[in-house]
Structure 1
Amino acid sequence: MKNTLTFLLLSFIFCTSLKAQDTIVQKKNIYTEARYHYYLKTILLFNEYLDTDKGSFNTTQLRFLHPIASKAWNLRVDLPLVSTNTNSDNKTGIGDIGAGLSYIPYMKYKDEGIAFRARVISNSAADPAIGTGKWVFSPAFFFGKYFTHNILWITSLENQISFAGSKNRNDINLTTFENYFMYIFGSHWIAGDVAFRYNAINKGYPNNAYLEFGKRITKNDIAYIHPSVAFGNHKTYNFGLEVGMLILF
């Protein structure tokens, strides 16, 4: 697991020395699709409900993305409002705020490309019940490819590892391998996603999968909904539902 993290860290540092090709800001490509938009300022507001063995976990999140520098860079900020509902404890408040920086160093025309992202998730939750109690660093690598003009595949490898925080909370070391397939038709899309995870702390596999249905409502407004289900040992929830709206400007 340490080797995986080291590789991702070195990959992210190396990519910053590369110059993004002009085509990535001049032509439509994989990272202009709704779920991976890099080149316009974007506000994403979504609500995710998760059913757990002990009750429910609900997150209402505001995400802001802003292209910077040559527009091959992208800044992301996440502000979550979290609610838990169990038989013994109900809590609502600000969750762990996160910020990330993404970079696209390579694009082969518009058919395929790679991207890197590094995020830091803070130990900022208003209550221990709605946060991890840890500071987390999360590097990720993405590869995307169009199989046809309307079938898109994006795969990613991400590692989340805690580096500071409460000694009374469990450390975090989670690796995720995710595959996202999107079929685009007109102003709509249908997508499927499967994420395989390995938790190195409890030796568990908290995997999940979802189906997604999306529609471009106006030129700058996009809505989507996706139901999800978790599987594997030590899974963190049973089933969930996320509804979101993107505003591009």
Structure 2
Amino acid sequence: MKKLLLLFSTMFCLVSGFAQETKPEEKSAASSSEAQANNPLANMTALSFQNYYMPKLSDAPDDAYMNTFWVRFAKPVAKGKLLLRASMPISTIGMPNQFGVVNTTSGLGDMNAFLSYNFVSNETTTMGIGPSITAPTASDDALGTGKWQGGFAFVAFVAKSPVFQFGGLITWQASFAGESDRKDTNLAAIQPFYFWQLGKGTYLRGAPIWVLNLKDDSYSVPFALGIGKVVKMGDTVFNLYVEPQYSVYVKGVQPVFQVLAGVNLQFMK
């Protein structure tokens, strides 16, 4: 827990230094559709679809794989001061049996939601913090924890430059109820994200998730570099991307290599 608090405090201090007032010309450029397309706290209703394909897992047989498809919905309330985001995973786990035949388990995972209070919200910098909860909605024991989990989420997005935007998401949650015969959970995650605009809606990106299981001391620290394209059609901003990720530090059954692909939709009205 001390490590988590240190990481949280460090990130909070670093990002807070960028929450100063900017020049009018900077605001105009940084608030463009391209700069705000990846802002998880944007004051717009958003719907996103993400798919993580994990063909290589550590501490698992060679043919083992995982695939997780995420559906996320975000809705600002109270004139953008609050943002509610709900996420539902649909997962597949493939594991070879003693004869080398890969058996798969597919279905719903555990649903997560968090409510962010945006205590900094202007055209170039957004910062929010709030409670997070995960419900044991998995359709199979292998796809979920069987536990109710609660914690917090802190997120920041800085877009002072029309060329380079960055931020991060820190989450922590632990189990507090659920099936008594299932293991308790204590999970932390840090997701740095960075975006380099190349022009005409095309950009380079990275949004790896560094996972730390504080209960069994397993972890995964991937790095990522991908490409995306932002297209505005009417009042909707479409953001399509693909992003390979490779874990440089890994312990336990975690992805060594994975590919993230997705599309985000922001509705401006």
TM-score bucket (shorter structure): 0.7 to 0.9
Q: 1:235 and 1:129 mapped to 2: Cα distance?
A: 13
| Distance of aligned partners of 1:155 and 1:43 in 2 relative to their CA distance in 1, 3 Å threshold | closer
Q: Which secondary structure does the structure 1 equivalent of 2:142 belong to?
A: helix
Matched residue type, 1:38: A
In the alignment, which of 105, 109, 118 is matched to residue 131 of structure 2? 118
The alignment's TM-score, normalised by the length of structure 1, stands at: 0.80
Aligned to 1:152: 165
The answer on whether the counterparts of 2:31 and 2:123 sit within 8 Å (CA) in structure 1 is yes
Q: 2:220 and 2:253 mapped to 1: Cα distance?
A: 4
The answer on whether the counterparts of 1:42 and 1:248 sit within 8 Å (CA) in structure 2 is yes
| Distance of aligned partners of 1:99 and 1:178 in 2 relative to their CA distance in 1, 3 Å threshold | closer
Matched residue type, 1:34: N
Aligned to 2:77: 68
Which has more radius of gyration?
2
Aligned to 2:116: 102
Structure 2 unmatched runs, 5+: 9-27, 98-102
**Which structure carries more relative contact order (alpha carbon 8 Å, separation 6+)?**
2
**Identity, % of aligned positions:** 23
| Distance of aligned partners of 1:69 and 1:147 in 2 relative to their CA distance in 1, 3 Å threshold | closer
Aligned to 1:87: 96
| Distance of aligned partners of 1:209 and 1:164 in 2 relative to their CA distance in 1, 3 Å threshold | farther
Give the CA deviation at 1:125. 0.4
**Aligned-residue RMSD, C-alpha:** 3.0
Give the CA deviation at 1:206. 2.3
Give the CA deviation at 1:3. 9.5
Q: How many residues align?
A: 232
In the alignment, which of 242, 245, 248 is matched to residue 228 of structure 1? 245
Matched residue type, 1:39: N
Deviates more, 1:31-40 or 1:232-241: 31-40
Structure 1 unmatched runs, 5+: 9-25
Give the CA deviation at 1:244. 0.6
Residue by residue over 1:53-76, the C-alpha shift from the partner in whole angstroms, topping out at 9 and shown as x without a partner, is 241111122111111121121111
In the alignment, which of 196, 212, 226 is matched to residue 226 of structure 2? 212
Q: Which secondary structure does the structure 2 equivalent of 1:125 belong to?
A: coil
